[in-house]
Structure 1
Amino acid sequence: MAPAWLTVLSWAALTVAFLCAAWIVYDARVAGWRQRMAVMEWVWPVTALYAGPLAVWAYLRWGRASTARAAEANGGKMPGKPFWASVAVGVTHCGAGCTLGDIIAETGVFLLGWELFGEHLYAEFFWSYVLALALGVVFQYFAIAPMRDLGVAEGLWEALKADVLSLTAFEVGLFGWMAVMRFALFPADPLRPDSAAFWFLMAVGMCIGYLTSYPMNWWLIRRGVKEAM
């Protein structure tokens, strides 16, 4: 079981994260800051689920800059941003697919009691990667295909090339942290998805995954495999 202080901290952090995600949805869809790239209206709130206020800060600085309203205020031109910031926004695509894939996988493995090699964690690794890759390719497709004016087949292939290495780098960080959670922090009584502490620590792992994915995204964008955001 998680100690009481961790449970309290987890509920507080998760509440803040959900409020941040809800505010971004409101700002984009109700307040009128509609994203030029529609898929980003999913990516930004999903990012807030693990990054909380940091995601709001990034959204206010770079998300709103990618809107028609921002272009109007800038004389009809889309405000630019430095390359490092384009990479940072690009990583959110990968992070969104991983986040949704992991939420579905962790919940499903827990509810169905699945194991791999006698261990829940390995089943979580397998299904998290499969679902994260599928969702990540979808997110990449709706970013790359419109920007390059590609058909479905070609767009999916380009999305797959852009996402596999990026997503794998993200999962390396996340899975490493999940192993620490399982074998170092809570070896005798592993945390499960029915506890707030589990999801709070998973959010920490997703932040770590973001950091491990950043250098790979930098390289992919420099090589032209992935679009700069």
Structure 2
Amino acid sequence: MAHMTVATDEIPAWLTICSWIGLALAVACAVGLAVDIARRPQHMAVMSLVWPICALFGSVIWVAAYIAWGRAPRRGSPESGGMGTTLGRAATPRSMGSSVFLGTSHCGAGCTLADLLVEWLLFAAPSVAIVGGLHWVFSDELFAGWVLAYVAALIIGIAFQYFAIAPMNPDRSRARNLGAAARADVLSLTAWQIGMYGVMAIAQLAVFPAWLGGPVATDTAVFWVVMQLAMLAGFVTAYPVNWWLISAGVKERM
């Protein structure tokens, strides 16, 4: 059954204000990382996108992680030549925990882009939900949106994974690297989406209907703060899966 969504003017003002503050902080973190990375290019090019994208949901947590594990020497400095190799690996091996953090973030960046794209697409053109199964599989747009977001996340995630794997395996064919990217990303992304969808379901199907009378609309700040929390939950559920994938050699250690 479809639900009437709750608009901004129906949400407590304090909650909207707090949400905007949280979103503004996250955007500021993402912009700050993008500016710093432009001056300090990542040894693995795709990570130049991953760090600021993940800051959109992880905010100061990902800024701290970037400073601890990801910040490269300034462009043109003597140290910059030794930061990475043509294979895209860091010159100094990272701990397993930090490598898994980077690998999980890599997965999360694809999920973030997919959800941004799908949520705003459904907001602008609700009929697109039919492609995800609305009316012929699901009666609620939420579930149809999840199907579309999952497919989009797979496409983007595998592309991100390919551009992480290919530089580290230049002797392999594109097809082999693409296959390796798919194997590495499908399980990781599925684990991420389980955590993310779980939080969104609790919020949109239980908490907000009981509190506000329905799920919050996509164009509200509160919706996107909940999405941030859902992404963090996705990170938590995907982290142990990425640890196993890296330990088993299915996913490259970053």
TM-score normalised according to structure 1 size: 0.93
C-alpha distance in 1, partners of 2:234/2:73? 25
C-alpha distance in 2, partners of 1:66/1:76? 7
Match of 2:13 among 4, 10, 15: 4
Match of 1:138 among 159, 170, 181: 159
Residue number in structure 1 paired with 2:231: 206
C-alpha distance in 2, partners of 1:178/1:155? 33
C-alpha distance in 2, partners of 1:46/1:11? 18
- TM-superposition CA deviations, 1:24-44 (whole Å, max 9, x none): 110011xx2110000000000
C-alpha distance in 1, partners of 2:244/2:197? 22
Match of 2:28 among 6, 12, 19: 19
C-alpha distance in 2, partners of 1:94/1:8? 30
Contact preservation (8 Å) 1:18, 1:49: yes
- Is 1:218 paired with 2:243? yes
Q: Provide the aligned C-alpha RMSD in A.
A: 2.0
Q: Which runs of 5+ in 2 are unaligned?
A: 1-5, 85-90
Residue number in structure 2 paired with 1:60: 67
Q: Which structure: larger Rg?
A: 2
- Please, which moves more after superposition, 188-197 or 89-98? 188-197
Match of 2:141 among 110, 116, 120: 120
**2:56 counterpart letter in structure 1:** L
- Counting only pairs closer than 5 Å after superposition, residues 24-43 of structure 1 correspond to structure 2 as 24-29=33-38, 32-43=39-50
Residue number in structure 2 paired with 1:110: 123
Residue number in structure 1 paired with 2:198: 176
- Is 1:86 paired with 2:99? yes
Residue number in structure 1 paired with 2:174: 152
- Displacement of 1:76 in angstroms is 6.8
Contact preservation (8 Å) 2:72, 2:83: no
C-alpha distance in 2, partners of 1:70/1:225? 35
Identical-residue share of aligned pairs (%):
45
Matched residues, number = 227
Contact preservation (8 Å) 1:169, 1:213: yes
Q: Which has the higher contact order (CA 8 A, sep 6+)?
A: 2
Contact preservation (8 Å) 2:44, 2:164: yes
- Please, which moves more after superposition, 154-163 or 185-194? 185-194
- Displacement of 1:109 in angstroms is 1.7
Residue number in structure 1 paired with 2:3: none
Secondary structure in structure 2 of the residue aligned to 1:118: coil
Contact preservation (8 Å) 2:40, 2:72: no
**1:138 counterpart letter in structure 2:** A
- TM-superposition CA deviations, 1:8-65 (whole Å, max 9, x none): 1110011010110001110011xx2110000000000000000000110011111115
Residue number in structure 2 paired with 1:129: 150
- Displacement of 1:74 in angstroms is 10
Residue number in structure 2 paired with 1:47: 54
C-alpha distance in 2, partners of 1:204/1:70? 38
- Please, which moves more after superposition, 15-24 or 115-124? 115-124
**2:246 counterpart letter in structure 1:** I
Secondary structure in structure 2 of the residue aligned to 1:186: helix
C-alpha distance in 1, partners of 2:74/2:49? 14
- Displacement of 1:80 in angstroms is 2.9
